Each structure stands twice: as structure tokens, then as C-alpha cells.
Amino acid sequence: MIPVGHHINADGRSAFRVFAPEKRQLNVVVLDAAGHDAAVLPLAPDELGWWQGDTARLSAGTRYWLELDGRRLPDPASRRQPEGVHGPSEVVEVAPVATPGWRGVRIEDAVIYELHVGTFTPEGTLRAAIGRLDHLQQLGITVIELLPLAAFPGERNWGYDGVALFALHAPYGDYTDLRAFIEAAQARGMAVILDVVYNHFGPEGNYGGAFAPTTQAAATPWGAAVNFDGPWNHGVREFFLANTRWWLEVVGFDGFRMDAVSLIFDLSPEHILREITDLARRIGAAAGRELLVIAEHLRNNRHVTSQAGGGFGYHAQWNDDLAHAIHAHLTGEREWRHYANFGPLDDVAKALRDGFVLDGKRLDRYARYLLGSDGRLTTATEHVVHLQNHDQVGNRPHGDRLIATYGRARALLGITAVLASPFVPMLFMGEEYGETAPFLFFEDFGDASLVAAVKAGRAADFHFDEGHEPPDPHARRTFEASKLHWARAESPEGRSILAWYRALIDLKRHGELGPRDRSALRIDALPDAAGASGVIRVETAHTLTLLNFSAQAQAVPLGAEWCFQLGSLDEAPPADPGALPGWGARIFRRAP
């Protein structure tokens, strides 16, 4: 596959390749150090709509415009936008990640940690984040998932409004910083995967549409869908496949989490998603390392992870059902659409056993149709589960975390259930030490009308929270309020919560808690004295986990073979291990 945008060709010259069908003229305007025109390179078109040309090798740091029919625009495949997404593009040279002996992490061994670079540290940079990698290693993390890094408008954003998909968002650092971060993580035994957005472009700074029909009429909640099957789709498809190669092969990420793939529409004989997952596996095989591809699909469809019958072939997909079932039962919240389908404790037990609660037999009350397929026909590693993530926290009206609103007991009970499941667990940054700072929605768009529309849209989304308008997404204070407070990790309570997470993850990684083989677990919902289900019992060959999903203490008979190991609310071994405190979790080990 020939690269897109600027690249060095086989002759060592700077070459440009741009998809711009049905255009009259396309030039590269090279700038000098003062930003003045230094040279003009005319590009020539071929019959497929690609414009190409080459020149003497340009040094890293050289800035340039693409002049399309007289209009100067950034390169849609720009590798760096130092003056922002509306400015000129810059030539970069990237040395790929090189960690001796690195072979990646299998999905069976994944314990994922999701983080947003801009709020993970006070500095909000990749270099600063390196300083926290020892913490993640000691926690037991094996896979770090970075929220999107592709360049977006302004300084701050979650990253899902990216428009220059090959360019690293400049305030986070440069490609040298990114390489240092990935290599430092891999040296500690942790893979690094990137969240990529291939379902839409952000609403400001998307100049790709001026060159080619990159989007089509099909809609997503965030704008027009990407044109994977309309006129001139071959160039659009090649652009995204080249982007896959860029991040996985050239830069050296260990895989992708792909955003909202259910909103990637393609009626071609081979779906673009299968092309991407196949390409990722080929890149990994050629390099002798494991590359993970994880989908956010959220339709509970086993087709996403199937390798047969035209399936998309992902290693795993995000599964929100366990988180929604736990949250709805622990909090009683039903107003928000995510929780409208959940509530009974039996939903928690079903999620732990089967993976999908919405499995095609229950009406989705929000979508108003039968959603999902039978999760029992999947393997446990095809599901990535969590208690909280950026969406579950950030798309609440006030970005509040579970522990901040409902307290430590319920938060620790919830994460114990997640890690006692047979599925692949994922944590959201800060939860491991009980972070109480919110994670709010924030942006830094330059278009005043867009800023106003985002603010109005957020308020409309939370109409049920009358009188409590969400914080202004555009205000810098909203972004600053979302930064982690690392001092809490060193507080007595923070250290206590961190110790609980470390213990659970250690048991998980050794297969004693939530083994990947679902047949090795027995999951039961035990009725309380009133006949309601109050406790979930999860038994494996080595451990017994009791989860009290009620505010009242519950008595659970224990056989002599079970020895108390640890409890979420126990500072010392309890006198009666079977007397579970309200919202308490206890783990027992089978006696030798």
C-alpha cells in the first residue's frame, strides 16, 4: 500500500499523494522558516483520483499548504498541525517504537486502563504521563488505552472531534514523546492501544471534504457518516487503511479500540471493519507481536467478534450491560437512557453469567426494538467490561463518579463484581484510588455558533435533571476540574482503596478470580429473608466471592472448606465471615 500525504519514497525524496477526484489543480506550497512561500510543487492526477509528485527531501519541521483549485488548505493526511487544525501542515520523521523482545499482550491476559492524556496529569502531556507508569504496573495493568490523540480544534477535547487523523494533537507532545511513552509502558510489560474514531469527522476543521467526498448522507449523532460505500469510496477506504498502518505499523501502537463501529456503514462486498481487523492481524504477524482490536459496538451482536460468516473479527467488544445492571441496582437510577432497561439483581447475575443482558429477547425501552444476540455463544474474552469509563462518567450531567455520589462501599462492591466476572476488565483512570474529581465533557472549539450549539445540546440531553444545568463545556474551568488529584492516591483512604484494587487484579491475573473459562464459574443469586435476591455468589475452583447488593446485612451459610481472605469493608478478619455487611463484598479461598 502506497502511503498517503507526505512520505519518503524509495528514492529518498519527499513525495506527496492526495486523493482529490474531480479537482482541476493541486499544488504543494512549501513555506520557509518565516512562513513565506519558498517553492511550489505541482501534483499530477491519475485515473483513480490520486494526485502525486515528489521533490528533494524536505527536512523535518518544514511547513506546507496544499493549494486546491486556488484555495490553501491543510493536508488531510498531515502528520502534524503545529498551529492548530486550521494552519499549515508540517513534515515529520517518525522513528517506530522499538522495544527489544516485545511480543504484545494477548486478549486473555488483558487488564485494561483507560486514560485521557489531557487530564491524567496536571501537565496533560505524554511525557508527564510516563511518570505514572510505575503506578499502573504495580496496580497490575497490562493494557493502557489512550483516548483519541488525532488532532482536534483548540487545546482541549475528549478527542472524539478529531479531524487530522494522522496528526498527533500538538499540546500532548510530539511523536518522540509518544514513542517514549509506548516504549516505557512496554518495558514495564504493558501494551498501549489507541482509541480511533472512524465513524465521523469532528465538526470544525475537517478539510478532507474539500478534496473528496469523505462523508455521505448517512447520519451519526455527531454528523455525517464516513463514505465507505458511495461514489469515490475506494480512495476514502484507502485513506483509513493507511491510517491503520500509520498508527500500528509506523508509530507502533499495540492495537486499537474503535469508537462506535455500529455507526460505520458499508454495503461493500467486504466490510471496511473486516478489512481493518485483517490488516491489523497481518501487521502484527509480520512484526511477530500481538495486536489487539477492540470494538465499541454496543448492539450486543456476536457478529462483531466472529471470525466466520462475514463477522468483523474483533478480539473483543465493549459490553456495557454489566456496568448498567450494577449501576441501576446500586443506585436506583432509571431516568438516564442507559439504565432504563436494568434494575433487578437478576440482571447483574445474568450479565455475569452470559455477558449480554439484552440478548434479543428483551425490548430495549430506549431504542424500542429487540436488541442483541445470545452472549452464551461467545467466549468470555470477547467481552470488555467495566464499572465506569469515560462515557459512563462524562455523559452524566455533572460528570460524577460512582464513589463521589454513592460512596466507597458501593463503588468497591461494583468493581469486585466486574473483576469476579470471567470477562476482560477495564478501569477508568483514577477509580483505583477512589478519585472523586468529575470527568466532565469539555471542548475548545473556535466557532462561536458551534460552542453555543454544544452547550444547548448538553443541556437538552439532561432535561430530566431540572434546575441543574451541566457545567459549560467550553469553559476552561470545566477541563481543569476534570484533572486527576493524585494526592488522593497517597491519602489513607486512597491507599486503602488502591490495596483492594491491587488484590483483586492480582487474583484475576492468576486465574483465581473470574477465570476466563465460564464453565469454571458458578453464579447464583441468593434470596434474602423476604424472598428478594440480595446476594450474588460466585464460586470458582479456588475462590468464593459473595456480593451483597443490598443496604441490609445478609447472612450466607458457608461450608467449612471456605477460609476468609479479604473483604471490601473489613479492616480485620470478621468474627462471622458469613454475615455480610450492607453493600459489602468478601472473598474466600478454598481450604487445602
- Catalytic residue numbers? 259, 296
Q: Where are the alpha helices (DSSP H) in 141-214?
A: 175-187, 208-211
Is 345 strand, coil or helix? Answer: helix
8 Å CB contact between 76 and 226: no
Q: Which of 255, 329, 322 is nearest to 532 (CA)?
A: 329
- Per-residue CA distances from 547 to 155, 401, 433, 525 (Å): 43, 21, 20, 9
CB 184 within 8 A of CB 115: no
* β-bridge mates for residue 53, sequence order: 16
Query: Who's near 543: CB < 8 A, 6+ residues apart?
Result: 507, 512, 513, 565, 587, 588, 589, 590
Instruction: Supply 230's cell numbers.
Output: 458511495
For residues 377 and 423, give the distance between their C-alpha atoms in angstroms, rounded to a whole number. Answer: 14
Is 186 within 8 Å of 99 (Cβ atoms)? yes
Q: Which residue has the cell 486473555?
A: 108
Query: Can you tell me which residue has the cell 522513528?
Result: 95
Supply the DSSP symbol for 561. T
Q: How far is CA 267 from its chain centroid? A: 26
Cα 82 from chain centroid (whole Å): 25
C-alpha cell at 13: 525524496
The pairing of strands 383-386 and 112-115 is unpaired
**Cβ atoms of residues 386 and 427 within 8 Å:** yes
Cell numbers of 44, please? 499530477
Q: Rounded to an integer, what distance in angstroms lies between the CA atom of residue 352 and that of residue 464?
A: 30
User: DSSP state, 147?
Assistant: P
Task: Give the containing element (helix H, strand E) for 564.
Answer: strand 562-567
Q: Where does 497-553 show beta strands of DSSP type E?
A: 522-527, 533-539, 543-548
Gap between the Cα atoms of 32 and 36, Å rounded: 5
3-class secondary structure, 584: coil
Considering Cα of 354, then 356, then 360, then 365, what sign does the dihedral take? positive
